[in-house]
Amino acid sequence: MAHAKGKRVLFLCTGNYYRSRFAECLFNAVAGKMGLPWTSSSRGLALERGVNNIGPMALSAVQTLQVRGIQGEMLTRFPQAALADDFETSHWVVALKETEHRPLLAERFPTWGDRVEYWHVEDADGVFPEIEREVMDLIARLMGGGKKRMDGPLSSPVENASPKSAEKVKEKLLARVGRETKGRRGKGVTTVFDLTLDDAGIRDLAAKLKQRCGTGGTVKDGRIEIQGDQRDRLVAELESMGFKVKRVGG
């Protein structure tokens, strides 16, 4: 695989419309938030099989990503077919379903059939949580030095990651949520703090949380303050974004 600067993961599925696109967008969002030196792209091994697909990306995938605060041009591009150069310029290649994609690789890219990592994600509704677990496990392994996972389905986000790399992911995605009323004349705020993000990342997250809660807020000394008692809402929103959230102060 490639050895140039900037490491790249390539996700493969059949039509580049649903599974691989969700994995690509989620990986880039999480890796970017964590400051990892990895980006991802996705391609389809048999775009001609997706003749009935409507639009650039499955609506359910777009909506699920948007709920997690993930938006942008990557949600609007149309499916792209895999080319030989896509493999050569990637450091890590993942095919989302072995029984479906190994035969396609053997037919169209025969030198790569035994060189990619295979997951076991069905082409079916409701697989986004499974893809999310797989993506988080991959990120943990990349942080731990890039270990190939053992074959077989993944049952938890860090099941096959080393303890140290799994702990790093937990630390990187940690957020604490609390409530402050003292000195605010009865107008309390919900606080989000202990975030391992840079200033720009914290401000971006604050904007998203204010939008989700439909209220105002600010950032002070690395802490996000959201008007009102929004603890339940913020815990749910942060967890949907991949954060490990600890609620403090009741």
Per-residue pLDDT of the chain (250 residues; tens, 9 = 90+): 544 357 999 999 999 999 999 999 999 999 988 888 999 999 999 999 988 899 999 999 999 999 888 988 889 999 999 999 999 999 999 999 999 999 999 999 999 999 999 999 999 888 999 999 999 999 988 887 766 654 444 433 333 444 444 454 444 568 899 998 876 666 789 999 988 777 877 887 888 888 888 888 999 988 999 999 999 989 888 887 778 888 987 6
How many angstroms separate the Cα of 62 from the Cα of each of 7, 71, 77, 217? 25, 8, 12, 27
Beta-strand runs (E) in the chain: 7-13, 38-44, 92-95, 117-118, 174-180, 189-193, 217-220, 223-227, 244-247
What is each CA distance from 144 to 161, 163, 164, in whole angstroms?
8, 9, 7
Q: Give the largest Cα separation in the chain, rounded.
A: 70
Is the CB of residue 39 less than 8 Å from the CB of residue 68? no
Would you list the domain boundaries of the chain?
A: 7-167, 173-247
Q: Out of 3.40.50.450, 3.40.50.620, 3.40.50.2300, 3.90.25.10, which CATH number does the structure's domain 7-167 have?
A: 3.40.50.2300
Tokens of 231: 């603890």
CATH topology assigned to domain 173-247? Translation Initiation Factor Eif1 (3.30.780)
pTM: 0.61
Give me the residues paired with residue 38 across strands.
7
Phi, psi angle pair for 134, to nearest 5°: -65, -45
Reported residue count of the chain is: 250
CB atoms within 10 A of CB 195: 20
Find out whether 178 and 190 touch, Cβ atoms under 8 Å. Answer: yes
CA–CA separation, 225 and 206 (whole Å): 8
Same fold, 7-167 and 173-247: no
Q: Give the pairing of strands 92-95 and 174-180.
A: unpaired
Q: How far apart are CA 42 and CA 137, in angstroms?
A: 18
